A and B are shown apart, each in its own frame.
Chain A
Amino acid sequence: MKQGPLLVSLLFACSLFLAVASYTNRQDGERANQSIPFRPDIPRTWDSTAMADFEMPLATVKASPKHVSTDYYYKLPERVIYKSYPVYAPGREPKGYWEWLQKQEPEVVFDPSKLKTEADWIKAGELLFDAPIDIDGAIISNDDVRDPAFYKYTNMPLTKDGVMPYARYVVSQKGKVLLGNLACGMCHTRVNPDGSVLKGAQGNFPGDRATAWLVRRADFPEKAAQFLTGALFNAPFVKDDPNSQLSQRSKDEIAKAFDAVPPGTFGRQGTSILFPPSVPDLIGVKDRTYLDHGGLARHRNIGDMMRYIAVNQALDFLGNYDGYIPVGINNKTLPEAGKSRFVGTFDRHSEAQLYAIAKYVYSLKPPVNPNKPNDVSKRGETIFIEQGCVSCHTPPLYTNNMLTPVDGFTVPEDHPKKYDIFDISIGTDPGYTLKTRRGTGYYKVPSLKGLWYRGPFLHDGSLAKLDDMLNPKRLRDDYVPTGFKGADVTTRAVRGHEFGLDLSATDRNALLAFLKTL
C-alpha cells in the first residue's frame, strides 16, 4: 500500500488549514448573534446629499475636493472578491505550498445572498478587510515577496508562522497566482513583537520602505517614480507645495523620502511622506465622530463609514482639487467611468461589500490588556486629571471627539456651529493639515485607548514610545526623534502637546502606568 503520499497530502492539507485558520481573527464574529436572522438596512454610499457634507472643507477652502458624481460612481463595475491565501516569507513556506496554489480554482468568496445573520456579515467583512483590490503589483509583487532581500531591506515583520500578513496571494485564474495589494488589512494589521497579529490596530507594514524598494529597482523609470509620487501626494493648491517639489526630484531623492517613513506611519494617498500620518487604530472607530488625523471625513453613521472606505479605496484619486485631479487625464479631466488605469479608480466595492467591511470594523475589540490597574496607575490617573488631560482625552472614550486648530490656521466663524471645534492649538507640527490634500487646518483629538499596543505616537509618528511623549528633551533642536525624522534629518525638535514634561520622575512613571492600562 502506498500510504506515504496520501499521508503527506493529508498532513499538508491539515497544516495549511491550521495556518490559514490561525491567521484569522474570529473573536468578534463569534460574539455577534449567530442565529437570529439579520436583514441589513444598507445605506446608499454615494448619495449626493450625504456626500455633499460628508467631508470637512480643506484649510485651502477652494481646493476642497469635488468627488465624482453619483452617476459616474455607479457606472464603475463592482469588485469581484476572490479567495486569497497567506504569503509566507522565503524559507517559511510549507513544502509544496506554491505548487498547491497553482492548482487552486478561482473562487468567488463574497456572496451577500448567503449571509443570514449579523455574524455572517461581520465574518464576510473580515474576509473583505483582507481582500486585495490590486493584483497588478501596485506596491509589491510576487517577485518581491519571494525575495529574501526584500524582507531584509524593509525589515518586514512576520507572524509566528512566518506569514507576511499585509498582503495575500489571489487566484483569479487557475494557475495564475498573483500577489494582492491594498486590502484594508495591508495598513491596518499589526504584528506584535511576539509574532501575534492584531487586526485593525495601528498597522506596522513598512509600506513606504517597500515603495522605496520598488523605486530603487534599476528597471523602475525615474518618470514613473515622479508620477507615482505626484499622484499620491501633490497638492498644487498649496503655496510652494513641498510635495509637488518632491515629485520633481530624482529617483534617489524620492526613494530616500519613502525610506524615511517608519512602520506605523504611512504615506497614504492625499497625505505626504514629508508629513506622514501615523496609521490610525481602527479598534474603537465606531465611537469616533471624525475620521483621518485632520478629521476630514465626518462619521455620523455607518453610511459615512462606507463613504470613507469608498473614497479611500480609492476614489479620492479622481477628486477635483481646485482643478487638479490626481490621476485625471493630464490632471485635468476625468477618464470615462471604468476606463481609468490607476488602481482603485476603475472599479468600486459594491454596497453590500462596503457595508460588510464597516460591520467588521465596528466589531473590532481590543486585545486583553496585560497592564492591570494598581496603586501606581491609580496615582497616575489622579495626575491625568490634575494635569487637565481629561478635557481633551475625556473618559470613557479618552477623546472628546473634537478637532483642534493648528498654528497658522484661523477657525472660520461658522465652524464652531457646524463642527466640534476645541479652539486651542496644542502646537504640534501643522504640515500634514496645512500642506496636503487631506488638510483641514485641524487635528483630531485622538483616543488614548489601546496606547499599550500602539506606536509610534503623535499624528506623524515622530515619537516611537509613549515614554518619549513625556521627555522634555524632545523640545530641543538637538533631539533625535525616535520615530519619523524625515529624509536627511538627524536631529530636530518634536514640539507640541507639551503636557507633563515637568513632572517628577515618580509622577511621570505613574502617569505612564495609568496610560498603559487604557
Chain B
Amino acid sequence: MKLLLWCQLLYLFVNPILVGPKVEESEIRFQIVNAGLTVNGTLSGMEADILFDPQHPEQASIRASVPVKTIQTGISLRDKHLQKPDYFDAEKNPTITLTSKTIRKTGSGTYEGIFSLTMKGIQHDVKLPFTVSPKNEFIGNLKVNRLDYSLGKSSLILADEVAITIRAKLAEGS
C-alpha cells in the first residue's frame, strides 16, 4: 500500500506567557500524488509546547508532536502498512516531532520558521512559513521529500513530494 505520508508538526502561538497555551483545535493534513491522483491523509492527536510572542517571534519556542498511529488515508490496510518498517516504522519511531530553531516575522501576521522535523528517527531542518490570526489560529504549509526520511522507496507512480498543512488554534485566554 502505498503511500506514505507523514506529516506532523505544529507550532504556535502567542501571548507572552511562559506557560504553553492549550491547543484547542488541531489538524494535520497531507497530500501526495499517487498514479496521477491526489491522496489525502490526516494525522491527529497533536501535542504541543508553545511559547510565542508575536512581538518577539525570535524568542519563540515551539515543540509539537503527533503519533504516527493516527495516520488515516481512507484505506485501512494502507494505514496499517504505513506503520511498518518500510514506511514510518512506528514501533521504533512512534511519533513525528517538530521543534523550532529560529522564527522571524515576514509581514503582518506572517512568520517563517526553521524547524527541526524528525520522522522515522531521521532529522532534517525544514522551512515553515505560517500565519497567526487574531484568534490565535496558526496555519502553516510545507513540503517535504518523503525519501529524505526513508518513507518508502522511489516509485514510478508515487510522488516523492508530500504537501503538508498544519493548523492549530489555541484556547481563548491561554
Contact = CB atoms under 8 A, between A and B. Distances in A.
Given A416-B86, A423-B81, A423-B84, A391 B36 contact: no
Query: Which secondary structure dominates where chain B touches chain A?
Result: loop
Say whether chain A's binding surface is mostly helix, strand, loop, or mixed: loop
B129 interface: no
**Size category, A interface:** 10 to 19
16 contacts: A385-B36, A386-B37, A388-B1, A388-B3, A388-B39, A390-B34, A391-B1, A391-B3, A391-B78, A394-B35, A394-B156, A416-B86, A422-B81, A424-B77, A424-B81, A424-B84
A395 interface: yes
A423 B1 CA distance: 9
A392 interface: yes
Given A385-B36, A390-B157, A395-B157, A423 B2 contact: no
Interface string B151-162: 000011110000
Contacts of A395: 35, 156-157
Interface in A393-414: 394-395
B124 interface: no
- Size category of the binding interface on chain B: 20 to 34
Given A388-B77, A394-B157, A422-B86, 16 more contacts: A382-B37, A388-B1, A388-B34, A388-B39, A388-B73, A390-B2, A391-B3, A392-B1, A395-B157, A416-B86, A422-B81, A423-B86, A424-B1, A424-B80, A424-B84, A499-B77
A416 B85 contact: yes
Given A388-B1, A390-B157, A391-B1, A423 B85 contact: yes
B19 interface: no
A426 B85 CA distance: 16
Nearest to B78: A388
Contacts of B1: 388, 391-392, 422, 424
B123 to A, nearest CB: 22
Interface in B39-58: 39
A334 interface: no
The listed residue with most A CB atoms (<10 A of its CB), out of B75, B77, B78, B156, is B77
A504 to B, nearest CB: 16
Nearest to A384: B35
Interface in B77-136: 77-78, 80-81, 84-86
Contacts of A388: 1-3, 34, 39, 73, 75, 77-78
A385 B75 CA distance: 12
A184 B150 CA distance: 43
A416 B150 CA distance: 13
Contacts of A145: none
Interface in B16-40: 34-37, 39
B93 to A, nearest CB: 15
Given A421-B86, A423-B86, A424-B80, A391 B37 contact: no
A70 interface: no
Interface in A416-435: 416, 421-424, 426
Closest 8 A-B residue pairs measured CB to CB?
A: A391-B2, A424-B81, A423-B84, A390-B35, A391-B1, A385-B35, A385-B37, A388-B75
Nearest to A405: B84
A499 B2 CA distance: 14
B15 to A, nearest CB: 43
Given A394-B157, A424-B1, A385 B81 contact: no
Interface string B4-24: 000000000000000000000
A369 interface: no
A391 B34 contact: yes
Given A394-B157, A416-B85, A423-B86, A385 B77 contact: no
B60 to A, nearest CB: 39
Contacts of B80: 424
Contacts of B78: 388, 391
Contacts of B84: 423-424
A387 interface: yes
Contacts of B73: 388
Contacts of A394: 35, 155-157
Interface in A421-477: 421-424, 426
A414 to B, nearest CB: 12
Contacts of B34: 385, 388, 390-391
